[in-house]
Amino acid sequence: MPFWKNDRVTPAQIIILGFFTLILAGTALLMLPFAVSGGERASFLDALFTATSATCVTGLVLHDTALYWSSFGQAVILLLIQIGGMGVVTMAVAISIFTGKKIGLRQRWIMQESISAPQVGGIVRQTRFILKTAFLIEAAGAVLLSLRFCPEFGFFKGLWYGLFHSVSAFCNAGFDLMGAGGSAFSSLTGYTGDFLVSCTVAALIVLGGLGFLTWHDFREHGPRLRSYRLQSRLILTTTFALITGGFLYLFLFEFRQPQWQDLSLGQRAAASLFQSVTPRTAGFNTVDLGRLSQPGQLMMILLMLIGGSPGSTAGGFKTTTLAVLLLSSYAVFRRRGSAQCFGRRIPDETLRSAAAILLLYLLLFLTGGVLISIIDGVPLMAALFETASAIGTVGLSLGITPGLSSPSRLILIILMYFGRVGGLTMIYAVTSGTPVPMTQFPQERVTVG
């Protein structure tokens, strides 16, 4: 009997093992001699870092993807992005569906945990829907991007670039092949004011980051937002608020500073929009982030830590976590009994999880940043930017990644893995997942704040 049919293995354990296996397979493939274009083989740690970054759809890179990896290597990376982005379990279920295998209740339960669905019903239909939607959107994105890339790079290379960047954007991976133009690690900085590329990529990022359940609500209810489940409405509201807030800050403060004088008003608007979308786990950039002011970098770090929405391709501590904490704070300030919004009450249990996740992410982010700063003697801000980027599976960087020592690389690998698998999944996998029966101790008040 394979281990995943063992009843004592929890969904959380299967999810983390699935990602782990995928990363190891990717590492092995990337260590093949013909995965690298120069002829020299990639070292184990380099291959592991790249496979983790691709599988966890992070996008932090040690080598420029287009210049270092061969076409085979790039294809491996794209495959890891696609499987990792959709979720290992979703892909496994997809294979079962296509091969006509029967899917038992247990698999459905694992699947539910994996896409953060609130109930088990219709999980197979949902998987079918998720896959169909994903491939449709990715295809549309590839066509739109090819309109720009085919004239620029030639027909076939243009198509390949369109596909690669569409998948990479939709899965919020942030890997790019733009180093081929000559300057390594340039990401999309060649398209600062290009509305076709900026808007297509931004749209792919946002759609991918909204999460499968939100698409499902959209299919069921169309524009009737009132019928959406609470989670989808929170996700849409928070996403909208964060993008708007980020845009306003960047447009009104950041890009008016002297170092950005070379941008026209239109470029400033496009750059503000793109850069407010991308730290929410996408990881592309159309401007050089090293030129950001310090408050601008802090803003980016915060957006990266928040990340995307649950049940999507995104990392970070998630939009719903932020929403629940804010709603609960508002309830406290109004002396209300519990958090509420859109005519629904949010259970206290959810707040407890949200607070725990926030603390856990802050702890890992700060500890990782301090360690990297001490180990490699890099400025603290750059190190914190790097760890926020890793745990939010964002992939933006102030440029220190390629120069980091092995211990620092390992820290980032762990943070990327943690960020993609998700804080609670990780902890439940370790703590065996069975709820501890609660001892009813007497209650005692404590004064806080």
Residues 234-293 that bind its own copies (CB under 8 A): 234, 253, 293
Distance linking the first and last C-alpha atoms of the chain: 54
Binding flag, residue 435, its own copies (CB under 8 A): yes
Binding flag, residue 75, its own copies (CB under 8 A): no
Binding flag, residue 424, its own copies (CB under 8 A): yes
Interacting residues with its own copies between 290 and 349 (CB under 8 A): 293-295, 297-299, 302, 310-311, 317-318, 320-321, 323-326, 328-329, 331-340, 343-348
Nearer to its own copies, 40 or 444 (CB): 444
Binding flag, residue 360, its own copies (CB under 8 A): yes
**Strand, coil or helix: 340:** strand
Question: Quick one: what does residue 357 bind among K ion, its own copies, none, with the CB cut-off 5 to 8 Å set by partner type?
Answer: its own copies
- Report the distance separating Cα 217 and Cα 209, nearest Å: 15
The β-bridge partners of 350 are none
Tally of CB atoms within 10 A around 161: 24
Non-local (6+) Cβ contacts of 159 within 8 A are: 142, 146, 149, 150
- Rounded to the nearest whole angstrom, what is the least distance from the CB of residue 316 to K ion in the complex? 10
Interacting residues with K ion between 268 and 327 (CB under 5 A): 283
Binding flag, residue 150, its own copies (CB under 8 A): no
- Report the distance separating Cα 209 and Cα 40, nearest Å: 36
Interacting residues with K ion between 130 and 189 (CB under 5 A): 172, 174
Tally of CB atoms within 10 A around 48: 21
Q: Of 205, 384, 175, 191, which Cα lies nearest the Cα of 299? A: 384
Count residues binding its own copies (CB under 8 A).
81
Question: Quick one: what does residue 422 bind among K ion, its own copies, none, with the CB cut-off 5 to 8 Å set by partner type?
Answer: its own copies
Binding flag, residue 354, its own copies (CB under 8 A): yes
Among 229, 243, 376, 410, binds its own copies (CB under 8 A): 229
Binding flag, residue 8, its own copies (CB under 8 A): no
DSSP output for 350-377: HHHHHHHHHHHHHHHHHHHHHHHHHHH-
Question: Quick one: what does residue 59 bind among K ion, its own copies, none, with the CB cut-off 5 to 8 Å set by partner type?
Answer: K ion
- Report the distance separating Cα 152 and Cα 158, nearest Å: 7
> Which parts of this chain interact with K ion (CB under 5 A)?
59, 172, 174, 283, 394-395
